[in-house]
Amino acid sequence: MVDNTQKVRISKILSEKGLCSRREADKFIELGHVLLDGKIVNELGTKAFRSQSVMLKKIATKIQDSKHTILLHKPVGYISHLDDDKEFTPAATLITPDRYYKYSDDARRPIFKSEGLAPAGRLDIDSSGLLVLTQDGRVAKKIIGENVIVEKEYLVRVDGQLSDKGLNLLNHGLTLDGYTLKPAKVIWQNENQLSFTLIEGRNRQIRKMCELVGLKVITLKRVRIGRVSLGNLPIGSWRFLSEEESF
């Protein structure tokens, strides 16, 4: 249960309300775009009771609405996060005008300020499929926020024999590094490809799950996050999240 008797940071309250991320909240506080009981707050670390009125000014909402969320069909060989050592190529380098895939009648131009564009979740270098990159903390929170449960669906081509018992274990009953995995939905898509739907994303989870039941992963592609699907987005291409789509 949420404790309403203790003061907490205003940035935490804003995040809990889904109004922005904590990092965004700190920036808005510094800019004087946050109201506590109708008064401007501009000191970082300010605390309040959850029962108090904590709001963003309209200018902060306008700033958020100007931010972009990108859907990318990440190819194998790219990492999802930025690489400080420059050893691997980040997927964000593919967000260029020539790789833009126009979705429906979207009138937005493929040239925009990319500062603050960061992956909302990861997809390992050996996997392909849907990767979300966003400048909007509200979107990131819906995918990777604390206590958030969002389905992620993968198509996994495998090699090896899978028994009925093994399939049942993939759905529920496996343990990784002492951690009991949450129930999953795993079904055969065709004779050599499985569909995995997970509500958690531990490091290389699907590959390790398959190893435990005697399967080797040949290819792994993420095709859905929440209610947003990869669809017919070509590999290596990107598009904007449409106004009609929500995770």
Catalytic residue (choose from 106, 124, 164, 177): 124
Long-range contacts from 226-235, C-beta under 8 angstroms, 24+ separation: 226/142, 226/143, 226/150, 226/151, 226/152, 228/71, 228/130, 228/132, 229/130, 230/71, 230/73, 230/129, 230/130, 233/71, 233/73, 233/101, 233/130, 234/73, 234/101, 235/73, 235/75, 235/128
- b/e per residue 63-84 (b: at least 16 CB within 10 A): bbeebbbbbbbbeeebbbeeee
Task: State yes or no: is 126 an active-site residue.
Answer: no
Of 107, 154, 103, 85, residue with least CA distance to 126: 154
Catalytically active residues, by annotation? 124
